[in-house]
Amino acid sequence: MPYDLKPLGLSFQLAFVTTGILLVIGIPLAYWLAFSRNKLKPLVEPLVSLPLVLPPTVLGFYLLLAFSPKYFLGNFLESSLGIRIAFSFLGLVIGSVVFSLPFMVNPLKAGFQNFPVSLREASYVLGKSRWETLRRVILPNIKPSLLTGVVMAFAHTLGEFGVVLMVGGNIPGETRVASIAIFSEVEALNYDTANFYSLVLVALSFMVLLIFYYFNRKPIQTH
Amino acid sequence: MTRILSAVTLMIKIRVKRQMKTPQGPRLLDVDLEMGIGEFVTLFGESGAGKTTLLRMIAGLTQPQEGYIEVEGEAWFDSRRRWSLPVQQRRVGFVFQEYSLFPNMTVRQNLQYALADKSGGPGIEEWLQAMDLKGLENQKPDQLSGGQKQRVALARALVSQPRILLLDEPLSALDLNLRLRLQDEIVKIYQRTKITTILVSHDVSEVLKLSGKIFVIEAGRIVRSGDPREVMVNSNLSGKFKFAGEIVEITKDGVVNILTVLIGNTMTKVVATDEEAAALKIGSKVIVAAKAFNPLIWECAG
């Protein structure tokens, strides 16, 4: 194979890791947003959705500053733990998690809010805790929302450019994901390579959506 | 610490207040009632009167704003001490109007879910048998009929041997035939288990048939209580239960005449004397009122 597959590998690695982390963070956060009556909620909701409206380069810029060794947080992490976040895969993961957060949280939140209260109450009355109810009653019945969250977060991470470029810096083999690689190859006039990466991304994205719609299909009501 | 077993500890005492939002505007629910362990009690009233809210407060699903709920000497709610026993720890069985069966579980799994960490008592098999659900264990709720779903809901509420059974208009979504059959089921369950039961209903015949004591709730307050026969047949109420309908059938059954009356979308059978029936024919427009209930048709429990 004449083409370097590393960028594709990195893209998918990033998407999988990000989606996995978002599932772990997203479910509790969406649950809290859906059911809590905490006064902080009106602040948190716009914060979560911020990445939807923010130009990716803005977010990438601030993340870069935050993690750069020149400033407080990056400095602390580097000197005491030896971790450098800027221009590393870890930085990409953090950036992607923040940037794809609403794509996981919002469908989950909607799923929780649309879940019938009486089913939750039925579970509580049977002596089950909120955690057990979430695990055994709510989540199994909001599979469409779960699937939406997973697919959207995955697809969105695959397609990221601005944040990844800022925080990652286009380092071959480490932070040069497919979306960035395509840009670089076009700049270098290697249209063949750019085309290869693009086609693979289109094909895989299409397959992901195909699977998504297949599993989400609703039977046509006949009455 | 020894518990002094007196008549007091074999009671349920409820004294609660809460603002309700009803279609008729905000109403204060202000209730003070007592019932004995092992009794079958009905909360009766129109929609918005507060009976479901009261039931939910006993279950722990809704919190009173002020008051006191005590079950067998144990405080389940006490606003002065800011104490409320979490719903999960109140051993009640609740049957919702919408059945609320878990769609991702089969009938058997729905019942197993109720049992998980509790043990003992008639198991799942016996309840499946008793509620005539054998053969349906592996079906999911969306494959069941309304009557079947309600039997599963009942079994699920009872399989863990709760202390109190709470029924929130469990039969209102069913057609007349199913309602009558399930009413019999409920009577049988009560007679077998003698479980303290609180039924919310707005169906007069259901109340007469099932319960030993009735509390009539109007606009958030208990206005009458006592023996269902006395309370329901009282002339103060007959003005409230007048229905206009049309006769669709007249048959003679022994010494009585059975009139089948179409009231709205419901068919009701009413008994009439020979004189009453003589004046009527199919298509006659009639008024059916509560005073017309005849003990020959409904047998009361307890």
- Interface ipTM: 0.78
Rounded CA separation B225/B237 (Å): 13
pLDDT exceeds cutoff 90 at B300: no
Inspect the interface and report whether the beta carbons of A141 and B102 lie closer than 8 Å: yes
pTM of the model: 0.76
% of chain B residues with pLDDT over 70:
86
Tokens of A21: 């982390």
On average, the pLDDT of chain B sits at 81
The mean pLDDT value for B71-77 works out to: 88
Residue of chain B whose Cα is closest to the Cα of A142: B104
Where do runs of H (alpha helix) occur along chain B?
51-59, 107-115, 124-130, 146-158, 176-193, 204-210, 228-233, 235-238, 274-278
Q: Which fold has domain B242-292?
A: OB fold (Dihydrolipoamide Acetyltransferase, E2P) (2.40.50)
Tell how strand B213-218 and strand B40-44 pair up.
parallel
Of A82-91, B103-112, B175-184, B190-199, the poorest mean pLDDT is in A82-91
Q: Report whether pLDDT(B302) > 60.
A: no
> Do the beta carbons of residue B84 and residue B255 sit within 8 Å?
no
Flag whether residue A127 sits within 8 Å of chain B, measured between CB atoms: yes
A211 vs B231, residue with greater confidence: A211
Burial of A206 (0-12, 13-18, 19+ CB in 10 A): exposed
Cross-chain residue pair B88–A128, CB shorter than 8 Å: yes
**Phi and psi for B90 in degrees, rounded to 5?**
-90, 120
Mean pLDDT of A45-55: 90
CA angle A115-A51-A64, nearest 5°?
140
Measured between beta carbons, which residues in chain A are less than 8 angstroms from residue B58?
A: none
- Predicted local distance difference test score (pLDDT) of residue B239: 43
The answer to whether B60 touches B86, Cβ cutoff 8 Å, is yes
For residue B58, give the chain A residue with the closest CA: A125
- Asked whether residue B16 carries a pLDDT value surpassing 80, the answer given is yes
pLDDT tens track for A160-199: 888 888 888 778 878 888 888 888 889 899 888 889 989 9
B205 against B301, higher pLDDT: B205
Could you tell me the pLDDT band of residue A91, with boundaries at 50, 70 and 90?
Answer: confident
Q: What is the pLDDT of residues B135-162, one digit of tens each?
A: 888 999 999 988 899 999 999 999 888 9
Which segment, A31-35, B169-173, B193-197, is predicted with the most confidence on average?
A31-35
Query: What average pLDDT does the segment A6-17 reach?
Result: 89
Compare all CA atoms of chain B with the CA of A118 and give the residue at the minimum distance: B100
On whether the CB atoms of residues A104 and A153 are closer than 8 A, the answer is: yes
* Cβ distance of A127 and B103 shorter than 8 Å: no
Residue B93 and residue A119: Cβ atoms within 8 Å? no
* Least confident stretch, A73-77, A160-164, A213-217: A73-77
- B167 pLDDT band, cuts 50/70/90, is very high
- In sequence order, the 6+-apart residues with CB closer than 8 A to the CB of B57 are B14, B16, B18, B63, B64, B69, B77
- Residue numbers in B near A122 (CB within 8 A): 94, 96, 100-102
- Mean per-residue pLDDT for B190-197? 89
Q: Which helix (H) or strand (E) holds A48?
A: helix A41-53
Beta partners for residue B15, in sequence order: B32, B68
pLDDT given for residue A219 in this prediction: 65
Please report the pLDDT score of residue B74 as a whole number. 87
User: Which residues of chain A are within 8 Å of residue B103 when distances are taken between CB atoms?
Assistant: 141
The answer to whether the CB atoms of B88 and A124 lie below 8 A apart is yes
pLDDT tens figures, B113-131:
988 665 544 688 888 888 8
pLDDT for position B57? 92
- At B182 the three-state DSSP class reads helix
Arithmetic mean of pLDDT, A135-140? 93
Q: Tell me which of A146-150, B220-224, B233-237, B250-254 is least confident.
A: B233-237
| The pLDDT value given to residue A217 | 76
Are the Cβ atoms of A137 and B116 closer than 8 angstroms? no
pLDDT at B170: 87
Confidence tier at B188 by pLDDT (50, 70, 90) = confident
Task: For chain A, give the mean pLDDT.
Answer: 86
The model's confidence at residue B205, banded by pLDDT at 50, 70 and 90, is: confident
Name chain A contacts of B89, Cβ cutoff 8 Å.
127
> Which of A115, A119, A126, A138 best probes binding to B when mutated, by most B CB atoms within 10 angstroms?
A126
With an 8 Å Cβ cutoff, are B102 and A125 in contact?
A: no
Residue whose token pair is 């009486």? A118
- How much is the average pLDDT of B211-229? 83
CA-CA distance, B201 to B52, in Å (whole number)? 9
Q: Which chain B residues are within 8 Å of A142, Cβ to Cβ?
A: none
CB pairs A-B closer than 8 Å: 54
Candidate from B61, B104, B114 with C-beta closest to A126: B114
Q: Which of A188-192, A207-211, B1-5 has the highest mean pLDDT?
A: A188-192
Q: Which long-range contacts (CB under 8 A, 24 or more apart) does A70-76 make?
A: none
Domain ranges, ordered by start, for chain B: 7-238, 242-292
Identify the CATH assignment for B7-238 out of 3.40.50.300, 1.10.3720.10, 3.40.50.740, 3.30.390.30: 3.40.50.300
Q: What is the pLDDT of residue A102?
A: 95
- Assigned CATH topology for domain A6-215: MetI-like fold (1.10.3720)
Tell the burial category of B75 from Cβ atoms under 10 Å away from its Cβ (0-12, 13-18, 19+): middle
How far the first Cα of chain B sits from its last, in Å, is 35
- Residue A124 pLDDT greater than 90, yes or no: yes
Query: Is pLDDT of A78 > 50?
Result: yes
Contact call for residues A74 and A68 (beta carbons, < 8 A): yes
- The answer to whether residue B97 scores a pLDDT higher than 90 is no
